Structure 1
């Protein structure tokens, strides 16, 4: 079944979103390069490029935007179709990596600091549940998978409010998030799972919904988007070495929302290459820790690589990360996504519309 199209002025393939996905994945990768380099060689921790982690905040804002766009399409909302497409696009590629981590943790535990081959932990990870693993941590087997737990939680709110209550504007979903965050602030739950699901970072999905509404209401004129894009970028760059803060939605989420809103009006050129990088962004997110860990720990210390300037190492890691991601996307992610979609709903299209790609990807 083909989903109804947006008006011609709002094409399905949003090139600015694709470009920003690629940028988000890149800066997250560079953040982890900075952190892992510091951990490996004891560099000055104050020089960690913390703001690269704001790529996650931009991902969340994009996710709110994309879900608002999907739910706002003309025609009846089918919660079953919604869930099938979300699971088909997000779960298979993540499950493969999670199972790989589990196998490696069981076979070669020396590769990991704290990750163990615990079956209960694996099941919680595959279920996208933020469950206390016993040490106060709700993180899944794949470290970066915590963001997907938030994504699935947000999808559940969207499906519930749009499916049961006809909330096509996601007002109820936004209210639910505001209520959860407010409860977290007031009660400060000690339970790790409750703390996770009431964290203020959830507000960034609401920011994305608001960006979508603003985008639909504004037509023409590039001055406001350009100003928002530049302001958001400057605010993020100005915090380059600012450590993670409790209220990251304020310091990183708001500028990320400005970047997305501005980018929708500024980044209107079409580049197949950059759009393809956006296609690979989920694979980059899932695989980059393996690539940069291998490079930092085993490639850089060996001659003649140890004599190369850092800029070349950053370039090499970036190229290698996107090359591995391209392979993972072509060999694992896309085929499994299509296979899962066909299995769950044979009548569905084999390929999800570009605008339906999960924002964390």
Structure 2
């Protein structure tokens, strides 16, 4: 049964958030669920890391996840970003003003929530600095954070004020490069984008620049976005696979979650190969494989996928306070594995609310403010969803 054939009463009875009930049939359902998986893997990774801090004060055993690389969700996100940009903007190549329209739309999607949470982080750092693992930098670091310019935070890491924003620094770089590619027809545009990104990665690999910004922008991890572009091209030519092949490809993609020693050491290959290629295979399987059935659990996955940006950026605002509460109120009475479960569930609930109450309305407002159509904001907020990309 397709979503279009489900009646209004059936939709109402499914019991999913309202935000997932409109335009579900137009979504790439599998990719939304994959977004949820990617965001959740990052959340779980960070909650597990917090158990190491809790273990010191509670005398409980920290959760051991050394066999898994849960930060793999970031690689999936990068490939997904390349896919979505290519899929949604393919018809714009070579059109007048396409580059500016694309870039402004991406800024409207990414900037508002990020700036808001960065500001909240600064206020939180002033009010409760003990909750931060690394102190906030000086004013130049703060400005660089708002402008998506990579900068040193502390002695050994390139992180903005909102530490997870390091991935957005790569996103903004990709948006700039993709906007340049949109100035040309699609074939030379993709070729030019490929050559430019490969050249940047080659510089980072062979020269190893000392300048912080150049070293960051030439990290070969940027090629993961390009892998996503190629996956989108495969999707757009109409290639589709059956469930058996899709499951086999997903099994290959799951390799990215595992850590390896000899004979295939994690450090033996650059990240864009070790994790980027499995992530691309994962996204490919989700894109060209059969659509997941519209069962309740899948629709909840879609809902979390919709809120994945909020979940990714905002979960530290739940996890860190929960760590402090757990240390004082729970202590050594419960296993730290339960902290991982509770903190993850709390983060999901908060993200769903944040998406509905803040992220989605704010994104709509900024988009329409920039396009000179503010008068339509109220109407669209009343029930018509924007296309979330």
Q: Same fold (TM over 0.5)?
A: yes
2:329 corresponding residue in structure 1: 302
Contact 1:84–1:345 (8 Å) recurs in 2 = no
- Segments of 5+ residues of structure 2 without an aligned counterpart are 1-24
1:6 corresponding residue in structure 2: none
1:85 to 94, 99, 105: 105
1:275 corresponding residue in structure 2: 302
Contact 1:31–1:49 (8 Å) recurs in 2 = no
Q: 1:224 to 1:117 in 2, by over 3 A?
A: same
RMSD value over aligned CA atoms?
Answer: 2.8
2:69 to 51, 71, 82: 51
2:37 corresponding residue in structure 1: 23
1:35 corresponding residue in structure 2: 49
More moved, 151-160 vs 11-20: 11-20
Shift of 1:295: 1.7
How does 1:246-261 map onto structure 2 within 5 Å?
A: 247-261=270-284
TM-score of the aligned structures, taking structure 1 as reference length = 0.85
Per-residue CA deviations over 1:304-355 (Å, capped at 9, x if unaligned) read x74334443332222100111112112221121111111111249857753x
Shift of 1:65: 0.4
Q: Distance in 1 between matches of 2:239 and 2:365?
A: 39
Q: SS of 2:329's equivalent?
A: coil
Per-residue CA deviations over 1:145-198 (Å, capped at 9, x if unaligned) read 0000000100000111212x3346533222211100001111111122111001
Q: Distance in 1 between matches of 2:113 and 2:265?
A: 30
Q: How many residues are treated as equivalent by the alignment?
A: 343
Shift of 1:237: 4.1
More moved, 47-56 vs 254-263: 47-56
1:327 partnered with 2:353: yes
2:315 corresponding residue in structure 1: 288
2:185 corresponding residue in structure 1: 166
More moved, 55-64 vs 97-106: 97-106
TM-score of the aligned structures, taking structure 2 as reference length = 0.80
Shift of 1:219: 3.1
1:225 corresponding residue in structure 2: 246
Contact 1:65–1:208 (8 Å) recurs in 2 = yes
More moved, 267-276 vs 314-323: 267-276
More moved, 56-65 vs 240-249: 240-249
1:63 partnered with 2:84: no
Contact 2:144–2:150 (8 Å) recurs in 1 = yes
1:119 corresponding residue in structure 2: 139
Q: 1:200 to 1:136 in 2, by over 3 A?
A: same
How does 1:84-233 map onto structure 2 within 5 Å?
A: 84-116=104-136, 118-132=138-152, 135=155, 137-163=157-183, 165-167=184-186, 170-222=190-242, 223-233=244-254
More moved, 85-94 vs 124-133: 124-133
Q: SS of 1:41's equivalent?
A: helix
Q: SS of 2:315's equivalent?
A: helix
Shift of 1:277: 0.8
Contact 1:25–1:55 (8 Å) recurs in 2 = yes
Contact 2:38–2:74 (8 Å) recurs in 1 = yes
Contact 1:68–1:209 (8 Å) recurs in 2 = yes
Shift of 1:207: 0.9
Q: Distance in 2 between matches of 1:97 and 1:50?
A: 29
- Segments of 5+ residues of structure 1 without an aligned counterpart are 1-10
Specify the structure having the higher radius of gyration (Cα). Answer: 2
Contact 2:137–2:154 (8 Å) recurs in 1 = no
